[in-house]
């Protein structure tokens, strides 16, 4: 049985500033192969550095057209930031509106195209966020839990409680470093993927858990 996963997003989803671009998505791919050793894991990363929701929406439409020929993946993960959406320079209400509208559009398009599960990558810090921006970050991250089939929890493991990266986990103000990517991966609840895999292919928890 094949478990197919596609990742969409921006530079963090692409693994930028991690060793050999082995970011959180890379670690997820490795973990899924360990968790379901008898499944054939098909993992594609379509993340584009600097992308916002409008640009990623175009990618979604292009991929859906392509998938009509060969079938959609079982799972799509969308990992984007409100920083790329313009939170650092645009009015927050405009940012929240565009981010919310486009994310929900992408989820609906993907579900209509036959994707069984759409997961959203949770939001993450930025060292330039002000206290007001941090409030927006927290509010949107909380709301995202109801937009799709699940959310990958990045903020709780990366946030210093001021909207900035925890010490030792960032490369620059906008990106995690290698250790930061690893910690983001550790914030992912791998049981989200159990419903997509062949139950007979799942390893006992104690034997495979990459979070240990």
Note the residue count of the chain: 212
pLDDT-derived band at 207 (thresholds 50, 70, 90) equals very low
pLDDT of residue 27: 98
CB 53 within 8 A of CB 99: yes
Q: What is the mean pLDDT of the chain?
A: 93
In the chain, the percentage of residues whose pLDDT exceeds 70 is: 92
Helical segments of 15-167, H only:
24-35, 53-70, 92-112, 131-143, 155-158
Average pLDDT over residues 184-201: 86
pLDDT-derived band at 198 (thresholds 50, 70, 90) equals low
Nearby residues of 82 by Cβ (< 8 Å), 6 or more positions away: 95, 96, 99, 123, 136, 137, 140
Which one, of 194, 187, 97, 114, lies nearest residue 151 by Cα?
187
Identify the bridge partners of residue 117 per DSSP, sorted by sequence position.
75
**Spatial distance between the Cα atoms of 123 and 138, rounded to a whole number of angstroms:** 8
Average pLDDT over residues 113-122: 97
Which one, of 123, 70, 116, 77, lies nearest residue 100 by Cα?
123
Judging by beta carbons within 10 Å of its beta carbon (0-12, 13-18, 19+), is residue 38 exposed, middle or buried?
exposed
Which tens digit of pLDDT belongs to each residue from 118-155?
Answer: 999 999 999 999 999 999 999 999 999 999 999 999 99
**Spatial distance between the Cα atoms of 176 and 166, rounded to a whole number of angstroms:** 9
Place of tokens 């478990």: 3
pLDDT of residue 69: 81
Identify the bridge partners of residue 150 per DSSP, sorted by sequence position.
119
Residue 209 has pLDDT above 60, yes or no: no
pLDDT of residue 208: 40
Tokens of 51: 């992308």
Average pLDDT over residues 183-190: 97
Provide long-range contacts, Cβ within 8 A and 24+ apart, for 94-101: 95/136, 96/136, 96/139, 96/140, 98/52, 98/53, 98/54, 99/53, 99/140, 100/140, 100/143, 100/147, 101/53
CB 5 within 8 A of CB 32: yes
Of 103-117, 122-136, 189-203, the least confident: 189-203
Place of tokens 């929240």: 96
Which tens digit of pLDDT belongs to each residue from 25-75?
Answer: 999 999 999 999 988 999 999 999 999 999 999 999 999 999 998 799 999
């Amino acid at each position: 049985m094949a478990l197919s996963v596609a990742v969409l997003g921006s530079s963090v989803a692409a693994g930028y500033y991690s060793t050999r671009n082995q970011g959180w998505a890379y670690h997820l791919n490795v973990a899924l192969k360990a968790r379901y050793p008898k499944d054939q894991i098909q993992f594609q990363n379509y993340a584009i550095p600097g992308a916002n929701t409008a640009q990623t929406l175009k990618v979604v439409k292009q991929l859906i057209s392509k998938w009509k020929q060969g079938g959609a993946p079982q799972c799509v993960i969308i990992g984007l930031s409100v920083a790329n959406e313009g939170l650092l320079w645009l009015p927050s209400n405009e940012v929240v509106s565009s981010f919310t509208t486009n994310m929900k559009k992408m989820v609906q398009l993907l579900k209509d195209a036959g994707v069984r599960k759409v997961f959203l990558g949770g939001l993450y810090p930025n060292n330039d966020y002000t206290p007001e921006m941090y409030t927006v970050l927290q509010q949107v991250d909380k709301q995202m839990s109801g937009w799709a089939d699940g959310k990958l929890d990045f903020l709780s493991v990366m946030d210093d409680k001021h909207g900035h990266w925890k010490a030792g986990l960032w490369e620059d103000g906008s990106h995690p470093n290698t250790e930061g990517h690893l910690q983001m991966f550790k914030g992912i609840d791998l049981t989200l993927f159990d419903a997509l895999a062949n139950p007979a292919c799942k390893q006992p928890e104690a034997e495979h858990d990459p979070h240990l």
